[in-house]
Amino acid sequence: MRTLKITLAYDGSRFVGWQRQADGESIQGLLEDALARFEGSAVTVHGAGRTDAGVHALGQVASARVTFMHDASTLTRAFNAHLPPEIRVVSVADVDEAFHARFSARAKTYRYRIRNTAVADPFDRAFAWHLPEPLAIEAMAVAAASLIGTHDFAAFRSAGSDVASSVRTVSRSEWRHDAGLLTYEISGDGFLRHMVRAIVGTLVEIGRGWRPAEDIPALLAGGTRAHAGATAPPHGLFLVSVDYD
């Protein structure tokens, strides 16, 4: 047996998300189908993050245990020949048998894009949330910075999460603004279900003047999901990278 580390990029627009489901195409399902062609039997693939329907990835990581011995460069080309063009395998590597894409991860980085212009960009419509009204960027930046550190993110956790604790450590939380494109990046040791989108939705409400920047520390101090902002749409979100030891 060998363990493969597979790094992927994908446009998640038409998929039901990372996780295989009874109905609809998933990233996991398509990758497992491609691996089964080489293995000759079913293969289980584990992903570093279970991206939702419509969410994209620049550096998703998957792991799988297989017996076939094709070299990594051959596998990269072969996988891409069998996968739809919206999904690309960026690299394949042999790793230690103990490696697990999800449980071995030490940090992840997500990016959220907002097109803050009067008119939407038709070429960006599937990859950015369009908000035509002016936003208070400085207030959003101040609020974003207050997320850095170890906090209880229960206020940004959607129902359906099966994790025992909502405490997470965020090492980076910042906005960039360039020619009408707002980009939010957040890095941390782990993320709850819909956590990034809930944070972005809350920061946008601050930018709209619907709530003060001081709401973020208050939410971290004991707020509930009902107290935080709406969940931002999925199509602006990207899983950028996953870090390992």
CA distances from 237 to 34, 37, 111, 158 (A): 26, 31, 6, 16
Amino acid 161: pLDDT: 66
pLDDT tens per residue, range 218-231: 999 988 999 999 99
**Euclidean distance between CA atoms 136 and 140, whole angstroms:** 6
Amino acid 195: pLDDT: 97
Identical fold at 2-95 and 106-244? yes
Give the residue numbers marked as catalytic.
52
Beta strands 45-47 and 149-152, pairing class: unpaired
Architecture of domain 2-95: 2-Layer Sandwich (3.30)
pLDDT tens per residue, range 138-165: 999 999 999 999 999 999 998 766 678 9
Contacts of 228 (CB under 8 A, 6+ apart): 155, 156, 198, 201, 202, 219
Domain spans of the chain, in order of start: 2-95, 106-244
Residue pair 156/226 in contact (Cβ under 8 Å)? The answer is no
Question: What's the predicted TM-score (pTM) here?
Answer: 0.95
User: Which residues of the chain fall short of a pLDDT of 50?
Assistant: none
Token couple for 89:
């395998």
Amino acid 72: pLDDT: 87
**Euclidean distance between CA atoms 2 and 69, whole angstroms:** 8
CATH assignment of 106-244, among 3.30.420.40, 3.40.50.720, 3.30.465.10, 3.30.70.660: 3.30.70.660
